[in-house]
Structure 1
Amino acid sequence: MKIISFQNQLSNLTPHKKARLEISELVISNPELFPELLKYCFQTEKEISYKAVWILELVSEKKLSLLIPYYELFFKNIPKVTKDQALRPLSKICLFLTESHYKKRNIVLESKYKETIIEYCFDWLISNQKVATEAYAMRSLYYLGTEFEWIHPELKIIIEQNTPLKTSAYGARGRMTIEKIRKFQNKKKQPFSEAS
């Protein structure tokens, strides 16, 4: 597929799920388009940027391995993104990465990328983002907190401070996250039972 045609498809993309799925399948079927997709994601001064991030989210959900060779580029450019419609999918991609590393164990995240995700997620939580962005950040930080002990106490404090000021959706996700932290902490405290 020609790059110009791909760019036109992205530029003309509507928010309809069917249209987004078609282009994401195109990228998955033609992995040579992936670097172009990433390039458009971070041309933040252009409208194509957030549309490309929509596609990046769907591609990452189905085939996260396409992102792995581009971690450096991906993580370096996230701070350029400020539009709400692009931050939500980026925070969800961070969730895909942390969940795949800690829960599914089908990818490896180097320490420097974990630290970067920690920084971005805490920034999203303290900088008054949309609830979905914050909810994905909470979930990512929960997973990261299973390795980095300081994260869970900090995350809990932020959630408790923000809950009265935020929406009921934020409160619900916050309570779920705090409950998961509590269960994780209790599980850590339990001694291993010896077989008789």
Structure 2
Amino acid sequence: MTEAVWTTKILNISSSLADRKAIGEELLKFPDGVTHCLHFIAESSDNELVTKSAYALDQAVRSNPDILQPHKILFFKALRTLEVDTVKRIFAKTLELISFDFLKGSFPLQKPEQELMVSTCFDWLIADEKVAVKAFAMQCLYNLKDTQAWIEGELKAQLNSQFQNASPAFQSRARHILKKLKN
């Protein structure tokens, strides 16, 4: 399927869960579409195309995170370019899923990829981001805490410093992570 045909398919979906799941299933059957979606996310200035591409990618990755492995270079390139809040949330969730699979040994990550994930998640945790982005970021950081000695201490410090003034949703996830860090 050409990029032009894929673009038309992506732009014709709505934000409904049914449409997102359907395009995600199609993406699983058409792995070249992953390249198209990541290319759109990394390089397009059309926020609708970027967001809908992220919707498709989100549903496909939730079903099978391994779909990203052949596209890691483009995925991490796209990660550096995110501006749309919805897309940040989707990528934060994707990083969380990747980090879980990394822990299980089923999604290998090179040191620079781990470092980019850690720095991005700390940036999101520190910045004025939506709570979902922060929650996924803190879980990803927890999952990657053993890749670098300083991560655990910095994660504890960030969660504790934000806890008092944070939303109940942030506090709930932070409490959960802090409890696991004490064990």
Q: 1:86 to 1:44 in 2, by over 3 A?
A: farther
Q: Could you say which residue in structure 2 is the equivalent of 1:55? A: 56
Asked if 1:65 is matched to 2:61, the reply is: no
For the pair 1:120 / 2:120, whether they are aligned, the reply is yes
Distance apart, 1:68 and its partner CA: 1.1
> Corresponding residue for 1:132?
132
Conserved in 2, the CA contact under 8 Å of 1:37 and 1:56?
yes
Moved over 3 A (4+): none
Residues 51 and 86, structure 2, Cα contact 8 Å, conserved in 1? yes
Deviation at 1:69, TM superposition (A): 1.8
SS across alignment from 2:76: helix
Partner residue in 2 for 1:85: 86
Please tell me the residue identity of whatever aligns with 1:73.
L
CA drift of 1:9 comes to: 2.1
1:109 CA drift (Å): 0.9
RMSD value over aligned CA atoms?
1.4
> What is the CA-CA distance between 1:147 and the residue it aligns to?
3.0
What is the letter of the counterpart of residue 70 of structure 2? P
CA distance in structure 2 between the aligned counterparts of 1:164 and 1:150, rounded to whole angstroms? 23
Gaps (5+ residues) in structure 2? none
User: Structure 1 vs Structure 2: percent identity of aligned residues?
Assistant: 25
Whether the aligned pair in 2 keeps the contact of 1:60 and 1:93 (CA below 8 Å) is yes
For these two proteins, the number of residue pairs brought into alignment is 182
SS of the residue 1:75 aligns to: helix
Deviates more, 1:43-52 or 1:122-131: 43-52
CA distance in 2, matches of 1:36, 1:16: 21
Give the SS at the match of 1:165: coil
Q: Check conservation: 2:21, 2:59, Cα contact below 8 A.
A: yes
The structure with higher relative contact order (CA 8 Å, sep 6+) is: 2
1:11-30 Cα distance to aligned partner (Å, 9 max, x none): 12211110000001001011
